Amino acid sequence: MRTTTLGRTGITVSRIALGTMMLGAWGNRDHEDGERLIRTALDAGVNFVDTADMYSAGESEEIVGKALKGRRDEVVLATKVHFPMGGGGNRQGNSRRWIRQAVEGSLRRLDTDRIDLYQVHRPDPSTDIDETLSVLSDLVREGKVLAIGSSDFPAEQIVEARWTAERRGHVPFHTEQPPYSVLMRGAERSVLPTAQKYGVGVLTWSPLASGWLTGKYRRGGPLELNEFRRDLIPHKFDQSLPGNVRKYEVVEELLRLADDAGLSLTHLALAFVLSHPAVDSAVIGPRTTDQLEDLLAAADVELDDAVLDRIDELVPPGSDLNPADADYTPPQLADPSLRRR
């Protein structure tokens, strides 16, 4: 397994990170099987494990915590805060009040005394970034958190956070975690260049575009969705959206391209993400050990210029095939009242 340094943190991480969103009620409900999957990844050289408090309402963190018993020091452990964790308006967001509570919950579920990378899962328009960075900086100084990051932050908010940290004496975000795949290349427009400019480490998520780049969904075939895809991300499969219909055409072209290159589609997709110079690590989210082993085999695949050029023809750089796939929409676009007098 190849490794690299995560941004300018000095922390060495595997080029493939194990995401655990599919461990728990959202995917694999068998805790022992989930623990085995994590240990299989560690045995294969993966040292970077990414989770979040909201994944299956904390269940994923619990599985990770059990799997890492006796091996905690081998692992760069990342988790996240932002999304609701129970009822009430104060059990969510990026406020000092909630982050203070949330980090303690994550530490308890993960059964650890520190989090190597604590990430803000989404921007929070209701909370000043100064407030968020202030409490995160306190956690770093206390040793409960070693590095901090953002996820799905637009480039302008990455810059604002850095400016605020410099002016206010806070610890700056060390990393950004954007969605990035052959089908969703919007991060190339400004997020990835901004991260490169400021030395921000990048770990990307959804390299297989929610399963579209496994070849599972083909034109004319059944669109069988599991509970997670049907209930939580239906916009990525809604056939009334032209971008989703276009996915079928692009997937067929990519299958032919992968076959010509002697690769599987999953290996082509993961190698594409890792080929970008801004990307330190790609987060994979397998549900089974078989899926994990297939993806780990892609760690050493490198795509030549001809393959990358053909991908550019199919999905132009900086574009998202289905704009609705974006998991964060700025409030000024989502709320009409912010655009009208």
pLDDT, residue 38, reads 97
Q: What is the pLDDT of residues 265-291, one digit of tens each?
A: 999 999 999 999 999 999 999 999 999
* pLDDT confidence of residue 257: 98
pLDDT of residue 160: 98
Instruction: Return the pLDDT at 338.
Output: 87
Q: What is the pLDDT of residues 148-186, one digit of tens each?
A: 999 999 999 999 999 999 999 999 999 999 999 999 999
User: What is the fold of 3-209+273-302?
Assistant: TIM Barrel (3.20.20)
In this predicted structure, the answer to whether residue 188 has a pLDDT above a threshold of 80 is: yes
Q: What's the confidence (pLDDT) of residue 226?
A: 75
The rounded distance, in Å, linking the Cα atoms of 247 and 216 is 12
What residue ranges do the domains of the chain occupy? 3-209+273-302
pLDDT at 326: 86
Residue pair 60/24 in contact (Cβ under 8 Å)? The answer is yes
In this predicted structure, the answer to whether residue 230 has a pLDDT above a threshold of 80 is no
Mean pLDDT, residues 207-220:
91
pLDDT at 82: 97
Single out the catalytic residue among 55, 118, 180, 217: 55
- Would you say 93 and 126 are in contact if contact means Cβ atoms under 8 Å apart? yes
Any catalytic annotation for residue 55?
yes
Report the C-alpha gap between 44 and 299 in whole angstroms.
11
Any idea which residue has 């990026």 for tokens? 94
pLDDT > 90 fraction of the chain, expressed in percent and rounded:
85
The mean pLDDT of 71-92, rounded to a whole number, is: 94
DSSP 135-168: HHHHHHHHTSEEEEEEES--HHHHHHHHHHHHHH
pLDDT higher than threshold 90 for residue 221: no
pLDDT of residue 331: 86
For helices 265-274 and 289-296, give the axis angle rounded to 10 degrees.
Answer: 60
pLDDT 10s digits, 241-268: 899 999 999 999 999 999 999 999 999 9
Dihedral in degrees, nearest 10, Cα atoms 37, 292, 75, 3: 160
* pTM for the whole structure: 0.95
Contact of 96 with 134, CB cutoff 8 Å: yes
Whether 214 shows a pLDDT value over 80: the answer reads: yes
Which pair of structure tokens corresponds to residue 263? 């690769």
* pLDDT reported for residue 88: 83
Torsion of CA 272, 275, 279, 281, to 10 degrees: 70
Buried b (16+ CB within 10 A) or exposed e, 108-126: ebbebeebbbbbbbbbbee
What local confidence, expressed as pLDDT, does residue 238 receive?
A: 87
pLDDT over 90 (residue 237): no
Q: DSSP secondary-structure letter at 119?
A: E
Task: Report the alpha-carbon distance of residue 132 to residue 335 in Å, rounded.
Answer: 23
Model pLDDT for residues 306-340, shown as the tens digit of each residue: 999 999 999 999 999 999 898 888 888 888 888 88
Q: What is the pLDDT of residue 223?
A: 77
Confidence at residue 43, expressed as pLDDT on a 0 to 100 scale: 97
What pLDDT digit, counting tens, does each position of 11-35 carry?
999 999 999 999 999 999 999 999 9
